A and B are shown apart, each in its own frame.
Chain A
Amino acid sequence: MVASTFVDAFRFMPNHSSLLLEKTGETAELAFAALAIGLVIALPLGLWLGHRHRGLLLALGASSLGRALPSVVLIGLGIGILGVGFWNNTVALVVLAIPPILTNTYFAVEGVDRDAVEAARGMGLTEAQILTRVELPLGLPLLLAGLRIAAVFVIATATIAGIFGGGGLGDIMARQITYGLGGVFAAALWVAGLALLTAFALALAQRAASRRMAPRA
């Protein structure tokens, strides 16, 4: 039974390649929009708090709270407040993206070697300069790790929006009656593929950042 579904999935893919590409595009659009907005909100906040070594409770609490919010509930609230469309799903995903980005950014900056920071301060750099020239570069690997976690999570969760008319690969997964179990499995594989590709790209960025840091640190 599992084997036949596997075969069906791989027969589905070439027959429906344009459909799968279109749906993947929809999921990617939703996920990346949410990640971008989440970054804009959480990154500066995490950087600032981490630099000041304040708000540990906020960073930890955000992480705990973020994990406790079921995506189904957030999407539902989004529909109830904003109506059906692109923005209700995007806002729901933004809420889910913020905690991992915030927490990891905070710890990335907060955990930078204090000696390096003190040395920079001694050299007369302003607080902003310390953040951008010392803490951010040194914390970049951990920050990118957090972004990678958030990205995989948001992409996987974006599929839930498909149950509620949000389109994307989740739409295929929610309509077994139209696409068959092979189609559902194919869509699942493409979601995993999209997530892995994104994670890989960010892992490359993470390695490049670490390599750049090595000689100086």
Chain B
Amino acid sequence: MSGWRVAGGGGPVIPNFGQPSACLKHNGWFCTDWLTKHWGDTLQPALIQHIQLTLIAVGIGFGIAFLLALVGFRWRVFDAPLGGFADLLYAIPSLALFQLLVPLTGLTVTTVEIALVSYTLFILYRNIIAGLRAVPDDVLESARGMGLTRLQTFLRVELPLAAPAILAGLRIATVATISIATVAAFLIQDGLGAPIFDAIETPDLFKTELLVTGGLAILLALVADALLAAAQRTLTPWNRLR
């Protein structure tokens, strides 16, 4: 830190914390000097945290949803209550769900993850079951006619045919999670939501931080969407429009 200013005899040394650029002084929308200066300490860590939050939520959500969907698909009697439970979780606004979990799991990442997983459960459960159910009956009959067991039919026929719907659900769930995770900054300091909230709370709104961090969040969602869309296309070369 250059430039030292001693304030009064015996008082503390007040270092020069640097001068803002003209762009920052006028609160411009895209001050590149702030961007380059704070990529390492603010933006990149937030981005990595956000990706972690999303991967964990979607990973665990998919695992649970898949198991629940297997149950609901195999034994129809469970489908209504399981589906209803998932619907119920989705109906609670994220802001409320985060706060309701705090007495149980504290002001931690775990609380946020539990809430995010609940939201992915709703999307994924419905999509997996819908995908499995969409397999035409005549296809199933042909499979049985060929002598495949129940398990073989499931693994070799139903799952692959349901894959596009499941991937579509995964795509929606991932993008939704990235979006909802920004609200988590209301509770914890993790993820891209934190710089966004900070920017809005600054007097007269810190425009560069808002635009850059918001842009990063949107970019992340679009990239995830594109990647999963590509995965969807490779699995269903005959159905490129989905």
**How many chain A residues touch B (Cβ–Cβ < 8 Å)?**
36
Q: A70 contacts the other chain (Cβ, under 8 Å)? A: yes
Tell whether A192 pairs with B92 under 8 Å between CB atoms, given A2-B104, A70-B217, A73-B217: yes
Within 8 A of A (CB), among B92-106: 92-97, 99-100, 103-104
Within 8 A of A (CB), among B72-116: 91-97, 99-100, 103-104
Within 8 A of A (CB), among B104-137: 104
Contact segment of B15-23, B145-153, B170-178: B170-178
**How many chain B residues touch A (Cβ–Cβ < 8 Å)?**
40
- In whole angstroms, how far apart are the Cα atoms of A170 and B95 in the complex? 8
Chain A residue numbers with a CB within 8 Å of B29 are 80
Please tell me if the beta carbons of A159 and B93 are within 8 angstroms of each other in the complex: yes
Chain A interface mostly helix, strand, loop or mixed?
A: helix
17 more CB-based (< 8 A) A-B contacts, given A70-B178, A70-B179: A5-B100, A64-B175, A64-B225, A67-B221, A67-B225, A68-B175, A68-B225, A69-B179, A70-B183, A70-B217, A72-B185, A80-B29, A80-B205, A163-B186, A181-B99, A187-B96, A188-B100
Q: How far is the CB of A9 from chain B (nearest CB, A)?
A: 10
Query: Which residue of the partner chain, among A2, A77, A174, contacts B95 with CB atoms under 8 Å?
Result: A174
Which chain A residues have a beta carbon within 8 Å of chain B's beta carbons?
1-2, 5, 56, 64-65, 67-73, 76-77, 79-80, 156, 159-160, 162-164, 170, 173-174, 176, 181, 184-185, 187-188, 191-192, 195-196
- In whole angstroms, how far apart are the Cα atoms of A160 and B196 in the complex? 14
